[in-house]
A and B are shown apart, each in its own frame.
Chain A
């Protein structure tokens, strides 16, 4: 068994889990100031993710830990190279977390508007920055012979990563809208549905642009499609889901629309990982200095130990996560313990 490949796939699962689960949390935050008008509506938005956003964010933390454990050199190069960008991500995630927790603790217009704004800012910034980071990784970044990043913060602000940053925000807004339709009723739900149908077109344009651009310019996407033609089936399925998702929005089938946006989010993560393989970090300076799942990994013993840890732990995590979502199923009801 190829444990290097296994860990590449497991990292994809962790990133996919994060994108799907915290993705709709971030989407709710992005939509929050635009669609929730009254204080009660804003509380419904926040309480829709209230009991679960915390656990959702753990997928990112675990992704970070697993990257560190399985591919320490890639973790070191990426995290030190993207220093200021990651500090901004941390800043955004902290704003998101504390605005959720602090907002409800006091009455008062200014207090609540202040945290509403930070909730939006944190969510939007986190989505865009993670998308920018992903776009950079997909296109390749300047990495020297010693595997150190040789660019700076401005290196990261290239057109393609900015496009993927906006694409991520649009995708998560769409996904968040689908989630909110599950959690709301009545006029509020119709309002979210109408907004989703508009966001859909923004997402579609950004997605097609990024796909075409990535196919032409990302160093390994095209060649991997030639090497593994079965991946076209995934793209084909994604296009069908894309059409189906809009149909579900038109018919106001919230559950199916959410399933659709979940598949689309996973599809985006798949394309990202597929465009890298077998690299984790692509050196735009010299392909010989690429960091691959073989040369940048931990020892085989560590990869095996970690596989045991994941094999024992993750099924249990999935079971109780599903159980917690089941407990909090249905429409949001504001109670005395709510935010």
Chain B
């Protein structure tokens, strides 16, 4: 493989691994805010135990998310230096803003969330939970702004500069807000949020179902299950609408991407079909074993079944995505899972309404493992959006193959790719092992009535800790 292919693979690997964690942070963040609010209102100690349980899970996810996220910020420069020179005037600002407005906020208050239980009061802790959640939301805003600008650039002009006697081009900003609110930002942002909220709901329902089946702390887990169910119902339905509007936007802004989503290698006569499933073959340029609604795509895009939708053959060969089959499959897995989520949530809601939900062992067992599905949907959604954008790294402005760092050689990128692959394999296994272990440990035992077990204070060496602490705070 050449440097471009290796760098693409490395970026895909590091992004995909990292992207396990941000939707978890956003989705679980929302659930934490809801559960902790319930604790503040009811003062029910069971809610305190369940919130403490989730903050431990949150802390573990967050640490791996931070460890893997820093790679991405470096990678634009290390592997895509030509891209960085070309877009830095526009693309750098949202990344810097993400640091200033989001990363500091979530990282600083995470300390209080995880370690601050005995240091601050319940209201301050609740405030910190809000700040961590807000930080994860702000972070998603800025990174989606940056990525959406690559998809649908706006608010810029191309400027020629002279560098050491040679003329080079780059994109420079003309209107900051137009770049921020480019045509795809809002659609994509809403979609990402909803997908993350669904993941959060599935995670809480999974763990709750596990303990309901195990008959441990059933009361609080049943309540948690029901809270998450409502989040899941609302957002799994809303995400369908958001997905529709987004596909509509893609049809207008990035028609070759839509063609890749739908496996439209050739522009059909009359209406374009909507594949429910199929297996595209990039060599033969056709979809095998497909089941399609005739004219369905035309209906979704144009509102009638016969208006043509351009296929990939309408675009110059060097402006077509190179991974059509993978794009098609990613997109269809995401859509299919989205449909399944609606069905599942409504089914659970139905049994909840009938009052027999917690007797349906099979449904609870499915709920335990189902959490992996929204994770897959989040990943494939991103995958489809990024693969469908090819061959462009910035839509119609710069191609991916022209964006790589010119000085890199294959050995260097292979070395880093091998390192990340090895590291992520080990990290992924350890993370999953520790996560499931932590979950299985369950809620901490209920606190003893009064003056019971508090913190286990461990003082080392000699001296009274409080007086020593006083001395040091006077000194500093």
Contacts and interface: CB of A to CB of B under 8 A. Distances in A.
A47 B119 CA distance: 14
B77 A68 contact: yes
Interface in A284-300: 288-289, 295, 298-299
Given A72-B84, A98-B67, A259-B476, A61 B73 contact: yes
B100 interface: yes
Interface stretch (B58-66, B209-217, B233-241): B58-66
A93 B114 CA distance: 21
Nearest to A94: B67
A97 B423 CA distance: 13
Contacts of A87: 78, 415-416, 419
A66 B96 contact: yes
A190 B99 CA distance: 38
- Choose among B69, B131, B472 the residue with the greatest number of A CB atoms under 10 Å from its CB: B472
| Secondary structure type dominating chain A contacts | helix
B100 A101 contact: no
A249 to B, nearest CB: 13
A181 B471 CA distance: 11
Interface string B79-117: 101101101111111011111110111011111101111
Contact of B111 (A51, A79, A82): A51
Contacts of A306: 93, 96
Interface residues of B, number: 96
B356 interface: no
A259 B476 CA distance: 7
A23 B427 CA distance: 25
Given A55-B104, A98-B63, A148-B407, A65 B73 contact: yes
Contacts of A97: 63-64, 66-67
B318 interface: no
A327 B163 contact: no
Contact of A98 (B64, B173, B458): B64
A113 interface: no
A62 interface: yes
B283 interface: no
Contacts of B64: 97-98, 101
B469 interface: yes
A78 B77 CA distance: 8
B109 A324 contact: yes
Contact of A146 (B112, B163, B437): B163
Interface in B35-84: 52, 56, 59-60, 62-64, 66-71, 73-74, 76-79, 81-82, 84
Interface in B431-476: 434, 437-438, 444, 455-463, 465, 468-469, 472-476
A253 B476 CA distance: 9
| Secondary structure type dominating chain B contacts | helix
Contacts of A195: none
Contacts of B459: 185-186, 331, 333
A336 B66 contact: no
A334 B85 CA distance: 48
Contacts of A94: 67-68, 70-71, 423, 427
Contacts of B468: 185-186, 331
Contacts of B115: 47, 50-51, 328, 335, 337-338
Interface in B146-181: 159, 163-166, 170, 172-174, 176
Given A79-B84, A80-B79, 14 more contacts: A50-B111, A57-B66, A61-B70, A68-B77, A70-B96, A75-B76, A80-B78, A86-B78, A87-B78, A148-B406, A186-B468, A299-B89, A330-B469, A335-B117
Interface of A: 40-41, 44, 47, 50-52, 54-55, 57-58, 60-62, 64-66, 68-73, 75-84, 86-87, 90-91, 93-94, 97-98, 100-102, 105-106, 145-150, 153, 181-182, 184-190, 253-256, 258-259, 288-289, 295, 298-299, 301-302, 305-306, 309-310, 313-314, 317, 320-321, 324, 327-331, 333-338
24 contacts: A40-B460, A50-B111, A51-B115, A54-B62, A61-B69, A62-B99, A66-B92, A66-B96, A83-B78, A90-B71, A91-B419, A94-B68, A98-B63, A98-B67, A146-B166, A184-B460, A186-B463, A298-B92, A320-B109, A320-B131, A328-B119, A329-B473, A333-B465, A337-B52
